[in-house]
């Protein structure tokens, strides 16, 4: 576990170094205003519920959907009980 934590720390340090060298404040889309993922998911859900068999959007829902997912909650500090949500 310590080995994985040290590898992660080295990775973060190399990212921060590159960020400083390039003078970039935000890297890899990790800025506060990056809201493209949730918008993409909302669009796909709209298509899932409202598109008919031919792919044309309708005003009424076209189907019922059951979503089964395995959710993983990321945390900043690997195995700490006082970790914060990432």
pLDDT digits over 1-50, tens only? 677 778 878 877 887 777 777 777 666 666 666 678 888 889 999 999 99
Q: How many domains does the structure of the chain reveal? A: 2
On whether residue 80 sits in a domain, the answer given is: no
Whether the Cβ atoms of residue 58 and residue 51 lie closer than 8 Å to each other = yes
Spatial distance between the Cα atoms of 18 and 31, rounded to a whole number of angstroms: 16
Pair 27, 40 in one domain = no
On whether residue 17 sits in a domain, the answer given is: yes
Classified as helix, coil or strand, 19 is helix
Domain of 46, in residue numbers: 33-68
pTM comes to: 0.46
On whether residue 81 sits in a domain, the answer given is: no
Q: Which of 10, 31, 27 is nearest to 19 (CA)?
A: 27
Pair 27, 10 in one domain = yes
On whether residue 76 sits in a domain, the answer given is: no
Query: How far is residue 1 from each of residues 6, 62, 68, 76, 78, measured CA to CA in Å?
Result: 9, 48, 30, 14, 9
Report pLDDT for 54: 95
Among 35-39, 62-66, 71-75, the range with the most confident prediction by mean pLDDT is 62-66
Whether the Cβ atoms of residue 78 and residue 1 lie closer than 8 Å to each other = yes
């Amino acid at each position: 576990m310590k080995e994985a934590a040290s590898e992660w720390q080295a990775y973060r340090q190399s990212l921060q170094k590159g960020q400083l060298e390039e003078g970039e404040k935000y890297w890899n889309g990790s800025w506060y205003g990056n809201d493209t993922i949730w918008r993409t998911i909302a669009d796909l859900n709209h298509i899932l519920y409202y598109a008919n068999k031919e792919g044309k959007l309708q005003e009424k829902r076209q189907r019922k959907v059951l979503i089964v997912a395995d959710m993983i909650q990321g945390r900043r500090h690997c195995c700490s009980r006082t970790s914060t949500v990432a």
